[in-house]
Structure 1
Amino acid sequence: MQNKNLKKGVKIMILGLTGILLAAVIIVYLASGGFLKAQYLEPWQKSYSDIFDDPRIKLAAHGILAANGHNMQPWNIKLDTDKNVFYLFADSERLTKEVDPYARQTMITQGTFLEYVRVAGERLGYKADITFFPDGEYDEQNLENSMNTKPVAKITITKTEPKSSSLYDYMFLPDTNRGAYSKKELTPEEIKQLHAILTDSDMTLEIFQDEDNKKNLGNYAIVGAKIESGIHRINQESANVFRANEYQKNKYRYGFSVEGQGTTAIMKHVLQGIITLFPSINNEKNSADLYVKSTQTGVDNTSGYAMIITKDNSRTEQVKCGMLYSKLILTAHSLGLVMQPPSQVLEEYPEMSEQYTKIHKDYAPKGGTIQMFFRIGQPTQKFPQSMRRDVMDIIMQ
């Protein structure tokens, strides 16, 4: 009789614990917003641009998939009365002033958008002629007002026959992979194909795979991450655009989320739910430690680094650099490669000035500006797509 009662008690306890566990899982899943449709991923669908009749909006719908600094997507589009013309403006309300005080990264981001527009145009049957700063470059003493009034580019489209594009399909892959890369080096043929992209004599592309440079550049990446992670105002800037769950990601559709570290599937919802229920877990110290740790993992698993260096640092050169970077991303994808810029040492705030000067002395000793510094290699894991805004949100009324 005692054994029967004991067994019955154990069963009740197991059922009770199972019920508690199930309830906890449901609560976490609900907190994550796991039942919601991920509207922030809709622009990644190849059919997304089909819903728009205006070809300029169709092209812009491809542009928003481009790589962009801190996933701020700082683009505005103005449609001209001439239905073959539209203008790209930098969105002055989406600047990251702490890490990018001179808006250099924001300008590079304008270029990444333009290249995606150009590539999409070829596939859809539109030649995109791009004129940089048609109303003149910015007044640097009144930068934000200049951004609001002077376009980065005028895009004029001409109907042509659609062309088969070897790069188009790769626009729908994530632009950045922060994970571990294979130890396998790029082949001479792969390097040749990447170098062949560069046609502008005012820019150079350098690829480093030797041990000395990998060690040196890896050290720059780690030191940069440690410096940046220790600055409160920068951590706060990042925290302000962190989206903890599906509710926030659908509402804002830009900034950072747990996918940035490669978290997917059920683990994404577990982590999002826990952070939502217990936000102190994602405090500044823990976030900083995770950031440095992930940078170290990347550095320890990188077969090569690359740089884009421009002769000068004009706004036009910054935009052109962005266009080149997009070409490199798409070409890299076509070769089975991925990229990620651990480029904190290129940021221009006081605490980083020593590292900024040192890396330029090491890698641009004859002058010029290192615009991009990035890892490149074969991925060991797939990374998820990041949030994207609805293209109609960037159309200026």
Structure 2
Amino acid sequence: MTDRRTILQLLAISSLAAVPAVGATLKPNSDPAAAWRNPGAGEKDPRLYCLAHAILAPNPHNRQPWLVSLEGEDTIKFYFDTSRRLPATDPYDRQLAIGCGAFLEILSIAAAEIGYETQINLFPMGEPQPYLDDKPMAHIRFVKGGTKDPLYALITQRRSNKEAYDPKKPVRAEALQELLTMEPSDKLTLAGTLSGDAQCESLRQLTIQAYRREIETPVALKESIDLMRIGKAEIAKYRDGIDLDFPGIGAMQAMGLITREKMMTPGTTAYQQGLEQYDPLAKSASGYVWLISNSKDRFAELAAGRAYARLNLRATSLGIAMHPMSQALQEYAEMGTIKAETEKVVGLAPDKCLQMLARIGYGGKVSPSPRRGLAEHLRT
């Protein structure tokens, strides 16, 4: 879930002071944040109400890889959108499957809020390996019942905060313990560490190394750059991917200071800014949290996604900022050594899988990631 929001801002300090901004005026129907405001308002079908919340789930590179069809009066068929893969950085669709699990959890939380329970039958046509396919990931039936979940109120407030955190406000041990409290599970383990611990310092260095390794791997870097939405016009057009917007960016584009080619080219200021971007983010982390599954199958990946969605919502309730830094867990060859070292640091057993790794701290308010809107996810 890489971010480029701060790339090249230093270039704007002097060269653009007198240059008028260049940008696009958003039309109401292209507002990339519209989905976050009163999701599901006016929907009479409870499934649509809940789906309008589910599309706000965290997911890698903001790919939003979700497709659904409505069946009968009470059922949803849920599919992975195979056109939204990340073949370079997520070659086996593991992280995208986690994003699908997060979708299912937010859907269930929203259903409980309006008096429904979701009965979810996973992979009704068999577990897809080694890649996700276009067969249904789940059949979801809505039935009356369920208990309201206090996390519901936090769905539209949840963020992945990719900014530097406040170094003067550390996360205390008691807050970490409260964050890590989860329902007993024989499928997952949730753990964490705080700044000052040797384990935390090791993860800090590994997350920096992993991000730099991704930048230094051309095919991985290109995948991220291809998904960058630079400036308001592109963000409004695509409403997905890695949004990059700050004052003066339109003028920087017009002057050729920001181009995808420069971001891809070692030796340019743009490339170097990208390479160093995660250093201050990792250094500002007050700690790290991670999720380990007791198996390595698709069911475990979806369970990890559901657990991560709840963890992110719980962090929101505690005022704790959270940012996935899972580059070190990616399964392409160039990341192999760093991945192995990261697994060693968290004490991973051979039969288990390190599914998620995120930094935590206290940060300022950030805008929500763009969303394409519910209509884009409905199969007809």
Higher fraction of helix: 1
- TM-fit CA distance, 1:182: 2.9
Q: Within 2, Cα distance between the matches of 1:188 and 1:222?
A: 24
Q: Secondary structure at the match of 1:129?
A: strand
List aligned pairs for 1:161-176, cutoff 5 A: 163=148, 165-176=149-160
**Structure 1 runs not aligned, ≥5 long:** 1-20
Change (3 A) 1:50 1:217: same
> Which residue type is aligned with residue 83 of structure 2?
E
What is the CA distance between 1:276 and its match in structure 2? 4.9
Larger radius of gyration: 1
Displacement of 1:279 in angstroms is 5.7
Aligned residues between the structures: 356
Q: Decide whether the 8 Å contact of 2:212 with 2:276 is kept in 1.
A: no
Question: Which residue of the other structure, out of 199, 211, 219, is the alignment partner of 1:225?
Answer: 211
Please list, as runs of the form range in 1=range in 2, the aligned pairs for 1:21-60 lying within 5 A after superposition.
24-25=19-20, 28=21, 31-34=22-25, 36-37=27-28, 39-46=31-38, 48-60=39-51
Corresponding residue of 1:12? none
Per the alignment, residue 384 of structure 1 pairs with 367
**1:203 maps onto 2:181 in alignment:** no
Task: Give the Å deviation of 1:204.
Answer: 0.8
Matched, 1:132 2:116: no
Name 2:314's counterpart in structure 1. 331
The aligned counterpart of 1:14 is none
Letter in 2 for 1:374: A
Native 8 Å contact 2:158 2:312 kept in 1: no
Q: Is 1:234 the equivalent of 2:223?
A: no
Instruction: Provide the residue aligned with 2:279 in structure 1.
Output: 296
- Cα deviation digits, residues 356-396 of structure 1 (max 9, x gap): 112122323422111101101221x2111111011111111
CA shift for structure 1 position 61 = 0.8
- C-alpha separation in 2, matches of 1:131 and 1:189: 37
Q: How much does 1:236 deviate?
A: 1.6
Q: Paired residue for 2:8?
A: none
Asked whether the equivalents of residues 345 and 359 of structure 1 are also in contact (C-alpha less than 8 Å), the reply is yes
Whole-Å separation in 2 of the counterparts to 1:59 and 1:247: 29
Quote how far apart the aligned CAs of 1:331 are. Answer: 0.5
Counterpart CA distance in 2 for 1:281 and 1:152 is 38
Tell me the residue number matched to 1:214: 200
Q: List aligned pairs for 1:1-397, cutoff 5 A.
A: 24-25=19-20, 28=21, 31-34=22-25, 36-37=27-28, 39-46=31-38, 48-81=39-72, 83-140=73-130, 143=131, 147-149=133-135, 151-160=136-145, 163=148, 165-183=149-167, 184-209=169-194, 210-259=196-245, 263=246, 267=247, 270-278=248-256, 280-281=258-259, 283-284=262-263, 285=265, 286-367=269-350, 368-379=352-363, 381-397=364-380
RMSD (Å), alpha carbons: 2.2
Q: Structure 1 counterpart of 2:79, which letter? A: F
Give 1:139 deviation, angstroms: 4.0
Letter in 2 for 1:53: K
Contact 2:210 2:328 in 1 (8 A): yes
Helix, strand or coil: the match of 1:113? helix
Stretch moving more, 56-65 or 181-190: 181-190
2:203–2:345 CA contact under 8 A, matched in 1 = no
Aligned residues with identical type, % of pairs: 27
Task: Tell me the TM-score normalised to structure 1 length.
Answer: 0.84
Change in 2 beyond 3 A, CA 1:35/1:76: closer
* Change over 3 Å in CA distance of 1:54–1:310 after alignment to 2: same
Could you tell me which residue of structure 2 aligns to residue 3 of structure 1? none
- Quickly say closer, same or farther: Cα 1:22–1:211, change in 2 above 3 A: closer
2:50 and 2:331 map into 1 onto residues whose CA distance is 33
C-alpha distance in structure 1 between counterparts of 2:191 and 2:81, whole Å = 31
Runs of 4+ in 1 over 6 A off after TM superposition: none
TM-score normalised by the chain length of structure 2: 0.87
Please state how far the C-alpha of 1:224 moved relative to its aligned partner: 0.5
User: Structure 2: 5+ residue runs without aligned partners?
Assistant: 1-15
| Structure-2 change in CA distance of 1:161 and 1:206 (3 Å) | closer
